[in-house]
Every structure is written in structure tokens, then in C-alpha cells.
Structure 1
Amino acid sequence: MTNAAHRLLWTVVALLLVALGGTVLAVNLGRLPGGAGVLLDAGLRRPFRLAAPWGALALAVVGVLAALAGLWLLRAELGAARGRGYGTLAHPGRRGRTRLAAGALVRALERDLTGDPRIRRAHVVLTGTPPRPDLWIRVEVAAGTRTAGLREHVDSAVRRYADTMGCRPARLDVTAHVDSGPSR
């Protein structure tokens, strides 16, 4: 199953869970015409009424949990389409294809960038296609540090990254911010 098909499947499941949770909550709050008869047949309504008020409370809890599970799945699956760490870079070769996990490569570049004590944090996003991907880098530099040589450090880290990937970025965007938090 492809990543897109997987996301579509779980998005549908999440939407169904949200709809189920919303329906159960609507019945519990008396907002649905027909009341509990919509969800429960005559055989189940009697035990449900005997369990009052705990039956309604249990139904509300089930509805909230189903809705929350659906929302969590929606957030996870829709975020996966644009999120970090999903996908692979595939390089065709003479004897087959080499696959590199994009998330592992991104984390490696972030570690390489933060190897300089002047850089507190680094956030890297990789987009585009493997022959010429786009690379978006944001570094947070400690306040009050000398920035001489910092550009060279970032350039050499990007060169090492490109050599590891086996391709050069089509677009490279580096943004540096001064972090005024406590030093590490």
C-alpha cells in the first residue's frame, strides 16, 4: 500500500470515528430527532434505561473517546502528508535502487549543524524530488556569540549532506535567528 493510500484509508477511518462520536454525543444531549431509538433498537433500550444515569454517562464517554480518536488520526494522517520524516529518497543505480529515509537524513544534518556550540537548535525540512530536492534550514544562534565562520560551518554541513545524499539541492534556504534564551 502506498503512503497516499495509507493516509486516505486512515483519514476515512478517522472521519467515521469523528462522525460516530458526534452522533453518540448528539443522542446523549438530546439533539438528535428520535433520541436513543436511532442508535438502539427496542431490545437494547430497556437495559439502557435500567442503567440510568450510568448508561448515558458511558455513552457520552464512548462518544468523546471515539471523537478524540478520530481527531487524533486525522491530525496524524493529514500532518503526514506535509510532515517531516515521511518518505524516502530513491536513487537508481546499476544494480538496483538505493533508498534513504528522508527523516534520517534530515536529523543527521540537524545534528551536524548543532555540532557548532554557537548553534542552539537547527530545524531542517526536505521537499521536492530526489535528483534536485529543496532544502530549508532554520538555525537558532546563541545571543552574544561571534558569528564569524558560522556561514562556512553551515556551508560545509550542507556540502557533507549533499555528498551523503548523492545530489545537490535545487533550492537552499537558510534562515538564522538569534535565540535569547539561557545558554547551554
Structure 2
Amino acid sequence: MTAVREDPRAARTRAKLGRALLEECAGHPPTQVSVAALVRRAEVGRATFYLHYADLEALAAAVCADIVREAVDALHTWRGTPAPATPPPALLDFFEDLAPHAGLYRELLGPDGGGPLGRVLHQDRAVEALCAQGASAVWPQCPAHPDAHPLTAAVRTDTAVWVCPRSGTAVARIGELPTR
């Protein structure tokens, strides 16, 4: 399988937006950060922001999930003996970088861990579990926004369903999505 290469310009723009978000959140509570302040700090246009993200929450969840993924990947490659007195450097770095943005993580995780960041990390874990079982881990495209994002998995009234992440609308029960 050939890996899809990301446009380097898009990657740079998303990186600038991510850095700007973390800088803004270090100085203000997440609820006081605006798209206007963010794009000004990142030196990109408002339309560029919306080309990459549906809203601030989507950007914040993506940025924080990337940081958590990097920490987990670093821990997986660490080959030392686990000991509370000498934790892995990657874990120390993660918690050191986490402190100035604790409010952002707290908001994104929600009181029960089911907030936007929790959903992204849960989806990552579900994909890893599917891959480990040899099952397909490709998430279906959203029929309402096919070029924007895939559907996400959710549980609604004790039923697993595919949901449009932008509108929150349940599209179909998992296993009953119409094929094209």
C-alpha cells in the first residue's frame, strides 16, 4: 500500500495554526480564544483556517491528539526499565509541555473523558484494535461532506452508529451503511 503524501504547504499551515492555538491558550482560557486572534497570530487568513478546520474545537482536538500520539509513540520506543524514580524522558517532556495547556486538555476531554479529544483518541484506539485483528480500519466518508472528513463511530441509545462529525447527525447503524 502506498502512503498518501500530504501537501507540505497544508502541513505548514496546520502547524502554524497549531502553534498559534497553543500560544493563545497559554495566555488565555480556551473559551476566550477566538478564530480572529488565532489567524492573526498564525498569519493566515480566516478562510484558510476554515479550509483546514470546521471550528476551533476541531483544531484543538487535532493538535492535542497529535501531542498525545507523539508521547505515546515515544513511550513505545523507550527501552528502559520502568521506575517511578526515573520515568522515561518522553513522559517527562509530555507532562512538562502539558502544564501550560492543562485547561485546554481539560476542556477537550470533558468530565468523563468523552469530549472531542477523548473521541479522537478513542477512534485511534479502535483503528489500532481493528488493525491488530486484521480487520479493515478504513472509516467511511461522510455522505454529506465526502471530501471533508470521514464519519465517526458513536453510541446513541445503546446502538453503535456512524455520525457526521460536523453536524452530529447519525447516518446509519454500524454494519448497515449503504455501499456505493
TM-score after normalising by structure 1: 0.24
TM-score after normalising by structure 2: 0.24
**Greater relative CO, 1 or 2 (CA 8 Å, sep 6+):** 1
The structure with the greater share of residues assigned to strand is 1
